[in-house]
Structure 1
Amino acid sequence: MTIINDQPHVLVIPYPAQGHVMPLMRLSNCLVERGFRITFVITEFIHDRLINALPEKGKELVGINLVTISEFTLDERKDQNKSDDAVYSNLPAELEKLIKVNESSDSGKIACVIADETLAWALDVAKRMGIRRASFIPVAAGVKAFVYHIPKLIESGVIDENGTTKIKEETVMWSPNMPSLKTAHFMWNCMAGLVSPEIMFQTVIDANKSSKSAEWVLCNTFEELEPAALALVRNLLPIGPLLSTNQVGNLWPEDSTCLSWLDQQATRSVVYVAFGSIAIFNQRQFDELALGLELLGRPFLWVFRSQSDLFGRPTTTFPDGFQDRVAQIGKIVAWAPQQKVLAHPSIACFVTHCGWNSTVEGVSMGVPFLCWPHFADQLFDGDYITDTWRVGLGLNPDEDGIISKDEIKRKSNQLLQSAEIRENALKLKEMAMKSVGKGGSSSKNLELFLEELKT
């Protein structure tokens, strides 16, 4: 038997989307550094994107074996409801086959399956095959605490058993130490047409069940960031922030020229603008964003995709003459090495959709936020940023639901002039780095999980 087979073997299964693949890839790298072998299970579509986005210096991942199962049709990829149906109907049998093949080969027995919490079926397969299992939460612990509160929302009559909200504009104080939520902002009620409320609500319920059946529930957060939420969900094991030095896990090729461009800018002068992998603006809102950045009159780095690669929705175009007018102060790229960008000393603030991965990265780099949440848990994260941690400001839409160029300029200037927000952001950065340092809370939790895996 070779030494490689003495290494514990872990099967990792993300939900097939950017915001789910990346943190689990970062967790996989942490396990590899500690002597584990990883089989990383993805669909063929995600595999191709992941490989194509790797740095040119190498097309392989040390210690991580990428394995594909199933495949969506083009029609399923463009329709999120059909995509979810394909995941839940096709993949369980494929995963069981994969586990049997691995355990009968030189790869050796699988010590644990770590699966995205939305993939309850994966943990069911692992349990049925006698394999230890961990659920990974790709959202804030606070969101998980809110999901645990759903039975009480039903009992109090705020929603029915299908998640349908009975009072559309009510604000719910669901826990004394947590941000209140408008009923319209419940994650299944604000999916921007990507997934129906009924399917999203059922996904949330199923994910809750999967967490309860797992031996460990891992979360990309740290104790000092969400103490109130972690007190409400005591079985969560915070192991974040999950950060990376190699940026592996992105599904789009990065434009590293933005880093050399940042080198030429003054300290804390650049507004960084990025809205994740899914958010798409209509043309009117896109124009206001572009003109708002121009109106600022300061350097900006804008991550802009011409269209959604996943859903193929119509593209937006820049206002007439915009690119020529901002050529001396603006840098526009299709995708950026975000963690490196946020760590750069020239970054002044982060205009963000408030996705959890972006939120954790911004917190870890000590960058103030200008919050522009779009759907799902992003609204919850935005409240965390502005009201709980006080490390950012929110943008307010006008009577037509548009965030105007004047609002962008006004809030940006207010944010950049706030010494209090800057100080709060730096304090959170210090906490984040301490948590993953030697003897830190998250480091201890990760080591505890790994030691239990070896027993």
Structure 2
Amino acid sequence: MSSEYSGAAAPPHILIFPVPLQGHVSSMLNLAEIFCLSDLHVTVVLTDYSHRRLLRHGGLHSRFSRYGGAFRAATISDGLPDDHPRTGEAIFDVVMSLREVGGEQFRRVMESSDGASRRRVSCLIIDGMMSYTLPVAAERRIPYFIFRTISACAFWSYFCTPEIIAAGEMPLRGNDEDKLTYWRKKEMDFPVTAVPGMEGILRRRDLPGLLRVNDAANLSLQAMAAETKATTKANGFILNTFEDLEGPILDQIRKHIPNLYSVGPLHSHLKSRLESSGFESSQKNSSSFWAEDSSCIDWLDSQPIGSVVYVSFGSVTMLTRDELFEFWYGLVNSGIRFLWVIRPDSVVGNRVGDTIPEELEEGTKRRGHMVEWVPQSTVLGHPSVGVFFTHSGWNSILECVAIGLPMICWAYFVDQMTNSRFVSEVWKMGLDIKDTCDRVIVENVVREVMEVRKDEFLERARAMSIMARNAISEGGSSFVNLNRLNEFLKSTTQR
């Protein structure tokens, strides 16, 4: 695609700003590439840290080189030192720091994004918790969209925070010092009745992580609630989901935000549109912040079909040493083959311990394979993989839905608590073991999904996969919504 345009003929110019975490950046880059395929110009704003990781491990340049000047990455500082961990609960430091330092940097990015070879920015698409960017959009009189990269069900739970508080269903009783014991108490299984469309589904333990607090004045909770409600003021709202997956919840959201675009699963949608445009899929050029070890594919090739549990708890989850060993014992004791991703920084203290029990070492040699990071889309699509043991991040769940793969869900925080409940109780694609970390439970659920109820979960997962494929096919709900979004963005140059 040529990047040479006269000022009058230059395409619309969309500026996209994701929260600088791998799952958010991945979704936003998929949307950005779809826009490039639709002859739009795109600038994606990345933090210096995210940009370095993508250049080193994610193939950012090679992925977008085919679009010439239509794609540009702009960078800002997140205000944190280079050695900040940016994992686990520390990710909130990134969000809060950007709220302090991001405003003026964003203004400079907007000004520098106007160039001779591209139009002035004509529309802004921002992630959640980024209202500090909106004064610039107002000054320039350009429309803006909110793209929340979480599930509709998690977003809707956040949206209903005032109603949940008014109903007395939060704050939760207890105290921070006792929370590990407290989460297991009976109250956590009390139903949540104040979220329309989720009656009979949601329990208090299924509320998103920021709602699982014992003080309604919690600053993070209040900030998220305010940002979520402010979505009603945007020109439109984008979600990476599809109607057959979350239709009833999307209908609830539309009562407050009518101009809603459900366009997912975006990774599948992008692949389909690349193929339709005659391009090779760029899915091999991932949005990974970590070096991918493809040696695991050789190991998978040597395993029987559907025999392997793939275990990965995502890009920011932190495990304690005790949690690590409970999962490890459960996997080994199940007798099922497993491929387990353990990031170098994923264990608190950055070390497993001086000694590993002999039975774990021997069990892993016989039936397991452990790596630091993998090309996840390739692994999930491998015929040897029978189930995904996941942290319930939204991108991971959508990958399973698109492929038709059952799940075991161990939610870590934020939206994952709600996602895991919907996997087990609404979509019935697997089991939810949030708030537990016990080797016996792990052993039992692995056997249940891989052996006892294997056919049941596979049948349901494959049915969901067909729905996902229909959604992104010509005439499908996500296909139509994405075209509608493209048409609006193209019209912004005339506004």
Residue 403 of structure 1: aligned partner = 438
Counterpart AA for 2:20 = P
1:200 to 217, 220, 227: 220
Residue 202 of structure 2: aligned partner = 180
Quick check: 42-51 or 171-180, which moved more?
171-180
SS at match of 2:231: helix
Counterpart AA for 1:67 = A
Counterpart CA distance in 1 for 2:367 and 2:84 is 41
The aligned length equals 441
Where relative contact order (Cα < 8 A, 6+ residues apart) is larger, the structure is 2
Contact 1:181 1:380 in 2 (8 A): no
1:302–1:61: structure 2 CA closer, same or farther, 3 Å change rule?
farther
Residue 232 of structure 1: aligned partner = 252
Residue 274 of structure 2: aligned partner = none
Residue 424 of structure 2: aligned partner = 386
Residue 422 of structure 1: aligned partner = 458
RMSD: 2.6
2:414 to 366, 376, 396: 376
1:278 to 295, 316, 320: 316
Q: Is residue 2:469 matched to residue 1:433?
A: yes
Structural mapping, 1:304-315, within 5 Å: 304-308=342-346, 313-315=349-351
Quick check: 274-283 or 224-233, which moved more?
274-283
Counterpart CA distance in 2 for 1:186 and 1:253 is 30
Residue 42 of structure 1: aligned partner = 46
Counterpart CA distance in 1 for 2:434 and 2:59 is 38
Contact 1:25 1:248 in 2 (8 A): no
Counterpart AA for 2:236 = W
Where does structure 1 lack aligned partners over 5 or more consecutive residues?
Answer: none
Question: TM-score if structure 2 supplies the norm length?
Answer: 0.82
Offset, 1:104 = 4.5
Offset, 1:56 = 10
Query: Per-residue CA shift, 1:346-379, capped at 9, x if unaligned?
Result: 1100101111111111111111111111212111
1:344 to 382, 401, 408: 382
Residue 65 of structure 1: aligned partner = 72
Residue 103 of structure 2: aligned partner = 92
Q: Is residue 2:117 matched to residue 1:106?
A: yes
Counterpart CA distance in 2 for 1:252 and 1:345 is 24
1:98–1:430: structure 2 CA closer, same or farther, 3 Å change rule?
same
Offset, 1:337 = 1.5
Contact 1:363 1:429 in 2 (8 A): yes
1:10–1:246: structure 2 CA closer, same or farther, 3 Å change rule?
farther
Offset, 1:285 = 1.8
Residue 20 of structure 1: aligned partner = 24
Structure having the higher helix fraction is 2
Offset, 1:260 = 3.0
Quick check: 67-76 or 138-147, which moved more?
67-76
Q: Is residue 2:234 matched to residue 1:219?
A: no
Q: Is residue 2:456 matched to residue 1:445?
A: no
1:52 to 28, 33, 56: 56
Contact 1:352 1:358 in 2 (8 A): yes
Counterpart CA distance in 2 for 1:261 and 1:330 is 9
Question: TM-score if structure 1 supplies the norm length?
Answer: 0.89
Counterpart CA distance in 2 for 1:23 and 1:448 is 19
SS at match of 2:474: coil
Structural mapping, 1:360-371, within 5 Å: 360-371=398-409
Contact 2:409 2:434 in 1 (8 A): no
1:62–1:334: structure 2 CA closer, same or farther, 3 Å change rule?
farther
Residue 413 of structure 1: aligned partner = 447
1:452–1:42: structure 2 CA closer, same or farther, 3 Å change rule?
same
Quick check: 100-109 or 431-440, which moved more?
100-109
Offset, 1:313 = 4.6
Counterpart AA for 1:393 = L
Contact 2:424 2:431 in 1 (8 A): yes
SS at match of 1:301: strand
SS at match of 2:428: coil
Residue 139 of structure 1: aligned partner = 150
Query: Per-residue CA shift, 1:10-50, capped at 9, x if unaligned?
Result: 11100111121111111111111221221110111111011
1:153–1:338: structure 2 CA closer, same or farther, 3 Å change rule?
same
Query: Per-residue CA shift, 1:143-197, capped at 9, x if unaligned?
Result: 22222222222333434xxxx4469644312346422121684421449xxxx98
Counterpart CA distance in 2 for 1:280 and 1:76 is 14
Name the % identity.
27
Contact 1:304 1:334 in 2 (8 A): yes
